[in-house]
Amino acid sequence: MLEFLQQPWHWWLSGTLIASIMFFLLYFGQSFGFSANLRTICAAAGAGRVAQFFDFNWKAQRWNLVFLVGAILGGLLTEQFLTAPGTVVEISDATRADLGTIGFGAPVGTQPLELFGWEAVATWRGFLILAAGGLMVGFGARYAGGCTSGHAISGLSDLQVPSLLAVVGFFIGGLLMTTSSFPTSFKLGMKATLQLLKFLLVGTLFGIVMAKSEAMSWYRIQEMFRFQSFHMYGIIGTALVLGAAGVALIKRLGLRDISGNPIRFYPKARSVTRYILGGTIFGMGWALSGACPGPMVVNIGFGYFSMAIVFAFALLGTFLYGYWQKHLPH
């Protein structure tokens, strides 16, 4: 059994588990949207004094911060116990050849040392690539109103057109990047702690799935945007099919969450400009850094600490969006 768990997980299993994570959160009275944590962290740091976008009760989102911690824990557990020694990402020959032409060798792990190794990060070029990727992911995710979890999984499962537009933007940005030159604390009582524990567990499952499915790997993102493997499309497609079927069933049966409240799905604001432009910016950052907000923290837990640079600049991108929000076309 352990030998099976230590191997990379097939796309159908990974997609099924991602859909189950969305349903767990719905049952617990919340929704699946990881990039909202970027706004929450900015608000907790006092950004509400500078921009109205961050002036909200961020403590109501502490469950999502616990989910984030769980994702880091999931990455750590996977690296320590659920990864066989010498495991590398088995990307397609076409992607391997393409990446070789821009200076990337064959994979020796989950992430390329040419980008995430400390020697690379210590150069201006390496640092700026990670910083630019994080900045675009943070800014683009808030401009588009969500990332892959909020749009590609939750939004499309609810058959929302704005999410479809955002996903189109993700791929426009991703294709543009891959086809161009690659360049505060709070106190909790025991009851509240126990209530948040379930989000830690679901977040840990999320982190494990992101790591074992290799969806956190820069190599897999490059492969996806080059249309050279079905792996990532299989993960997203499986989660989407199961998610859409599950959401339809929830609506039809009028199911309720753990507290007895009706499970609600909120329509996203209608627009074309914000979803295409924001999605494109997000997609460019996703292709450049190889990670959206969830996989960023999973990578940190897995031991790729240079990903903290990407996450830090994703927070900066989120702050800049909030600061300029009123001046952007929506």
CB 38 within 8 A of CB 315: yes
CB atoms within 10 A of CB 326: 10
pLDDT, tens digit (0-9, with 9 covering 90-100), for 88-131: 999 999 999 999 988 899 999 999 999 999 999 999 989 999 99
Specify the pLDDT at position 196: 81
Both tokens of 232, joined, read 């990532």
| pTM for this prediction | 0.91
Helix (H) or strand (E) segment spanning residue 242? helix 231-253
Residue of 190, 224, 206, 287 whose CA lies nearest to 91: 224
Specify the pLDDT at position 269: 87
Q: State how far the Cα of 312 lies from the Cα of 310, in Å rounded to an integer.
A: 6
Q: Which long-range contacts (CB under 8 A, 24 or more apart) does 319-323 make?
A: 319/42, 319/47, 319/51, 319/54, 319/138, 320/135, 320/138, 320/139, 321/53, 321/138, 321/139, 321/142, 321/143, 322/39, 322/42, 322/47, 322/51, 322/52, 322/53, 322/54, 322/142, 323/50, 323/51, 323/53
Specify the pLDDT at position 184: 38
Specify the pLDDT at position 3: 80
Low-confidence ranges of the chain (pLDDT < 70): 181-194
Q: State how far the Cα of 250 lies from the Cα of 116, in Å rounded to an integer.
A: 42
Using alpha carbons only, what angle is made at residue 12 by residues 197 and 83, rounded to the nearest 5 degrees?
60
